[in-house]
Amino acid sequence: MALASSLPPLSLLFLFLTLGISGVHSSPTLSPSAAMQSLAQKRKPAMDAKLPFTAHFFPQQLDHFTFRPKAYHVFYQKYLINSTYWDQGPVHTAPIFVYTGNEGNIEWFAANTGFMLDIAPKFKALLVFIEDESINCFEVIKHSWDELMAVGAKKGGMLELTKTFRACK
């Protein structure tokens, strides 16, 4: 306390800034963008035949929030299941571990999320990996690109695309 009262206020400020800056440089930092770049480099698009999962598709309403006719279209959300360790005894007390997915290939995340496979035998759990629907949207757009280019190349095509996608007003 005596030290603080004998120092002028600017010296105290300088002391705190110096300590704060040196603390920042000495501690390790993790960059989310670096982690995502690392994950992107390691991704394998195809499902490894050794993975103990079966793929399933759940019919899902396209839009849950509006009541327009196109909102009732259906897309098929992909999910993977591993029931190898699931205890389906008469009491059904075994847990279900659910991985809710990321914006990417669900097979890649299932293959690289070892923690769930490590603990499933101990808990006799069912494993479920749910794919984020944005990857389905990406696949639809990717496979529709030629068709979009053809429509855009026709007379009035760009206007048609602008109205359809409500873009470039």
Distance CA 86, CA 99 (A): 16
Which tokens in the block code for residue 166?
């409500």
54 and 99 co-located in one domain? yes
125 and 138 co-located in one domain? no
Structure confidence by residue, pLDDT tens digits, 96-113: 999 987 777 888 888 888
Does residue 140 form part of some domain?
yes
Structure confidence by residue, pLDDT tens digits, 112-142: 888 898 999 999 999 999 987 655 566 666 6
The count of other CB atoms within 10 Å of the CB of residue 84 is 13
Report the mean per-residue pLDDT for the chain.
71
Least confident of 29-38, 43-52, 95-104: 29-38
| Cross-strand pairs, 54 | 81
53 and 127 co-located in one domain? yes
Does residue 5 form part of some domain?
no
The count of C-alpha atoms lying within 13 angstroms of the C-alpha of 30, restricted to the half-sphere facing its C-beta, is: 4
Domain holding 169, by residue range, is: 134-169
Residue with tokens 């757009």: 141
Distance CA 69, CA 29 (A): 49
Per-residue confidence (pLDDT) for residue 123, from 0 to 100: 94
Domain count, the chain: 2
Q: Where are the beta strands (DSSP E) in 7-156?
A: 54-61, 74-82, 96-99, 126-130
Does residue 105 form part of some domain?
yes
97 and 149 co-located in one domain? no
Does residue 31 form part of some domain?
no
